[in-house]
Chain A
Amino acid sequence: MTKNLFLNTPLTINLSLSYRCNFNCHHCYSREQTKETELTFEQHKKVVDILSQWKVPFLNLGGGEPLIVPYLFDYVRYASSKGLHVSMNSNGFLVDKDKAKEIKLAGFKSVGISIDSPYEEEHDSFRNRKGSFKKAIETLQLLAEVDVKTTVSMVITKFNQHNFSDIIPLLERCKVKQLFLHNYKCTGFGYKNMEVFDLTPLEWKDFYKRAIELKHSLKDIIISFDDPIIHLLPEYNDRPLVKGSTCGKLSLNIHANGDISPCGFMPVTIGNILRDDIILLWKDSPILNTLRNPVPQGKCTSCGIYENCLGGCKARTYMLTGDFHNPDPHCWKGGE
């Protein structure tokens, strides 16, 4: 009576209201998209109407820095009134006591704050902004005071791969319940700077082994990953919602100009939310169907655990090899 998953519409939409940002991070995937046209507030409300009509439950705002958008709180109130559960990812720099209260009142279900190192100097250097670490911590505390659920996102790089676990006491102090350890995305500045920041496949393997060990040792903080290749490790026993990448299977990404892509890190457009019939796209888009039906190539053809990862992260694979079906360049199999 329980079935294999097939969704009529996405469960999560990751949406950018704007790509403008008060930061200029070395790994930013979207910094070069700031020249894109942005939908107006009225047009973004129309997007909400469409999502509500599809019964999409979860809307996650990214960008760009969402708190830069002048109509953010009106937008979130509108989306919440239409039944959407709204969350956002922020660098936390623009939050003070009043803003924290506004976040609560607008109806945000949770707020994710980016912290890329347990250490101030390292974080400020990576985020290219002095004072950003202290401000991020203060924001977590302010949000806890007004009872807004918080999570922390950390992008794993060469610089934090060995000390990432030192952040746990800090999260405990700030009442953070979930830590997302993101694989390094080779898109935008992330692509340009990958030689400096990205780990080698064997370093990824070693990192994931240690991160899983940490995950199993914690009681009050959930550690989550977004990298399908983690399923190559037998010690990782989480049951995934879907096999392989979730992009185009559970979620879609909507750009600030309304363009739709399978994920924010994939420079591929499948349509536009205000122009195209999104239900038809979800069902029939050739790109989404390619992502949903991967064909093993190269070393994946002889891998006994291909069914666990389905070739890994499709955004990274596409960016680095130009073909969704190629093996994920972060995969360590065959190189051990």
Chain B
Amino acid sequence: MKVSIAEEVFERVEEDNLSQAEQAITKGMYEEAEALGVLTLIKAGIMTQLNLMGMNIWNRLKKPVTIEDVAKDISEEYGVNYEECFCDISEFVKDLLEKGFLKND
């Protein structure tokens, strides 16, 4: 499955939140990091925020890749089960497709 960033999506990195999330990761406080929105996305009056992992995936989707490719890379990078990773990323992508931030290719 291939998706890409939709047109006219505005994005802003929340610098303070990002640095807090990065600090939390280095201290092994993964839940705290996960709870922080670090990238704000806006399109046509709809807004959402992504955490560090969400931003990581979002940035990968800027290049022509499949969801399978992203899941493979992330599962290898973080040493997690591929199927589980694929399911989580598919849910994430589905949500962003519904909100209009991503489009099907």
Residues of chain A whose beta carbon lies under 8 Å from any beta carbon of chain B: 1-8, 11, 55, 57, 85, 222, 224, 239, 241
Q: Check if B5 is an interface residue, CB within 8 A of chain A.
A: no
New A-B contacts (17) at CB < 8 Å, excluding given A5-B37, A5-B49: A1-B50, A2-B48, A5-B40, A5-B47, A5-B48, A6-B17, A6-B36, A6-B37, A7-B40, A8-B17, A11-B42, A55-B13, A57-B42, A85-B10, A224-B45, A239-B46, A241-B45
Please classify the interface of chain B as helix (H, G, I), strand (E, B), loop, or mixed, using the class held by over half of its residues.
Answer: mixed
Smallest distance from the beta carbon of B85 to chain A beta carbons, Å? 12
Q: Which 6 A-B pairs have the closest CB atoms?
A: A1-B54, A3-B37, A8-B14, A8-B16, A3-B49, A1-B92
Asked if residues A1 and B51 are in contact (CB atoms below 8 Å), the reply is yes
In the bound complex, CA of A222 to CA of B51 (Å): 30
Please classify the interface of chain A as helix (H, G, I), strand (E, B), loop, or mixed, using the class held by over half of its residues.
Answer: loop
> Beta-carbon contacts of B80-105 to A below 8 Å, as 1s and 0s?
00000000100010011000000000
Q: List 5 A–B pairs whose Cβ atoms lie within 8 Å, in order of A's numbering.
A: A2-B95, A3-B49, A6-B36, A6-B49, A8-B15
Interface residues on B, range: 20 to 34
Contacts of B47 in A (CB 8 A): 5, 11, 241
Contacts of A224 in B (CB 8 A): 45
In the bound complex, CA of A224 to CA of B47 (Å): 15
In the bound complex, CA of A1 to CA of B55 (Å): 8
Which single residue of chain B is at the shortest CB-CB distance from A250? B47
Contacts of B57 in A (CB 8 A): 1
Chain B 1-47 interface residues, beta-carbon cutoff 8 Å to A:
10, 12-17, 35-37, 40, 42, 45-47
Contacts of A7 in B (CB 8 A): 14, 40
Asked if residues B10 and A6 are in contact (CB atoms below 8 Å), the reply is no
Which single residue of chain A is at the shortest CB-CB distance from B56? A1
Smallest distance from the beta carbon of A270 to chain B beta carbons, Å? 19
Which single residue of chain B is at the shortest CB-CB distance from A1? B54
